[in-house]
Amino acid sequence: MGGIYRLVDMGITTVNVMGDMVGTILVARSEGAMRGDPHR
């Protein structure tokens, strides 16, 4: 059971980090803080 949980936990962590990155990018774009942003 412990071995399976490690694999599931790695997947959950990956999805969590990806969600954090997408959220950060969306906020940065909405504030015009990204380089090369045409809305800047």
How confident is the model at residue 39, as a pLDDT?
Answer: 58
Q: Where are the domains of the chain?
A: 1-30
For 21-31, the pLDDT digits (tens) are 999 999 998 98
How confident is the model at residue 36, as a pLDDT?
Answer: 67
User: How far apart are the C-alpha atoms of 17 and 26, rounded to whole Å?
Assistant: 14
For 5-19, the pLDDT digits (tens) are 999 999 999 999 999
Alpha carbon distances (Å) from 24 to 1, 16, 34, 35: 35, 12, 11, 14
How confident is the model at residue 38, as a pLDDT?
Answer: 60
Q: How far is CA 14 from the centre of its chain?
A: 8
pTM above 0.85, yes or no: no
